[in-house]
Amino acid sequence: MLNVQYIISKEKISGIKEDDALMKKKIFAIDDEEELLEIIRINLGSANFDVELFSSAEKALEQLKKNIIPDLILLDIMMDGMDGYEFCKALRENAVYQNIPVIFLSAKSEEFDKVLGLELGGDDYLTKPFSIKELISRIKAVLRRSSSAGSSNTEKSSSTQIIKYKGLELNPESYRLTIDSKNVKLTKTEFELLHLFLRTPEKVFSRDNIIDSVRGNNVYVVDRTIDVHIMNLRKKLGPYKNIVTTFSGVGYGFKETE
């Protein structure tokens, strides 16, 4: 049943003009609250987005398997069957879907929940209840970053070159890391962090620098989020964990190992 807090968001948002580049972008909205889905459909439709609604993660997966790929996914966490965390993890482990931007929409407001959502590959996290205007603003920001990242990858061939360091081999096109010829699974954020450090070994990045370089602006993030990503990345690097170094009072960067 719809929480009464959402009633304030039922008004139709009118007069919002989207940038031409963002018009008619396809959005999947996945939530088991039917009234909230209807609010999203009406208001995002008024903002010229093409919205498709799903009451479960399983139904959205069925549509993805038909090769209907959205430009962005709005994703609830607490749902029967497959929850939002599981769905996002499944996306990031699939080469076809792994770059679809995801914005979590959830009543789970603890910092741990937000950190976990970002750790699993979410691009933003919006706590319920939220205003429709803020939701549209977040969608536009994430789509712009996604579009900009795509253009950057196309224009800068160096960013797609395989990077090798001792027993490490990083392939940005396939998001693949091998360590001593063995595949190692990284989350999207862990991969982007390692890619950032390896392609700019002469630089030391503050947490703010890392947030701007890996995620972009206007995303919910706290200092501890970066620390969690770094900690998990080091664990997965095994014998090469010390190449990701903490520079006291500054931040993180790459360091040659013996």
- CATH (domain of 143): 3.40.50.2300
| Span 47-74, average pLDDT | 94
Query: Is residue 182 very low, low, confident or very high in pLDDT (cuts 50, 70, 90)?
Result: very high
The confidence score (pLDDT) of residue 14 equals 45
pLDDT at residue 10, rounded to an integer: 41
- Tokens linked to 44: 């995002």
The pLDDT, as a whole number, for residue 242 is 92
Statement to judge: residues 191 and 246 lie in one domain? yes
The span from the CA of 213 to the CA of 200, in Å, is 12
Rounded average pLDDT over 4-28: 53
Please, are residues 120 and 85 in contact by the beta-carbon 8 Å criterion? Answer: yes
Examine the pLDDT at 257 and tell me if it is beyond 90.
Answer: no
Final residue in a domain of this structure, among 110, 130, 154: 154
Other beta carbons within 10 angstroms of residue 96's beta carbon come to 11
Q: Mean pLDDT over residues 131-148, rounded?
A: 85
Query: Does residue 201 sit in the same domain as residue 91?
Result: no
Q: Mean pLDDT over all residues of the chain?
A: 81
Q: Is 116 found in the same domain as 12? A: yes
The span from the CA of 191 to the CA of 229, in Å, is 10
Q: Which helix (H) or strand (E) holds 237?
A: helix 223-237
For the residues 74-81, what does the mean pLDDT come to?
A: 94
Q: What is the count of structural domains for the chain? A: 2
Pair 144, 25 in one domain: yes
Is the same domain home to 54 and 11? yes
In the listed set 121, 137, 154, which residue is the last one of a domain according to the structure?
Answer: 154
Shared domain check, 163 and 146: no
Q: How far apart are CA 88 and CA 77, in angstroms?
A: 9
| Residue that is last in its domain, among 92, 127, 154 | 154
pLDDT at 217 over 50: no
Residue 244: CATH number of its domain: 1.10.10.10
- The more confident residue out of 99 and 28 is 28
pTM for this prediction? 0.60
Residue 129 has pLDDT above 70, yes or no: yes
Asked whether the predicted pLDDT for residue 79 surpasses 50, the reply is yes
The predicted pLDDT at position 224 comes to 63
Q: Which is nearest to 233 in space by CA: 250, 253, 249?
A: 253
Say yes or no: 134 and 169 in one domain: no
Instruction: Give the per-residue SS3 of 104-145.
Output: EEECCCCHHHHHHHHHCCCCEEEECCCCHHHHHHHHHHHHHH
64 shares its domain with 110: yes
Question: Residues 124-146: what's their mean pLDDT?
Answer: 88
Mark whether 82 and 69 lie in a shared domain.
yes
Its sign, for the CA torsion 218, 224, 226, 232, is: negative
Same domain, 247 and 162: yes
Q: What pLDDT sits at residue 149? A: 52
Question: 35-39, 135-139, 173-177 — which is least confidently predicted?
Answer: 173-177
100 versus 160: the higher-pLDDT residue is 100
Q: Tell me: pLDDT of 32 over 80.
A: yes
Parent domain of 63: 4-154
132, 34: one domain: yes
Q: 146 and 174 share a domain?
A: no
Provide mean pLDDT across the span 99-107: 91
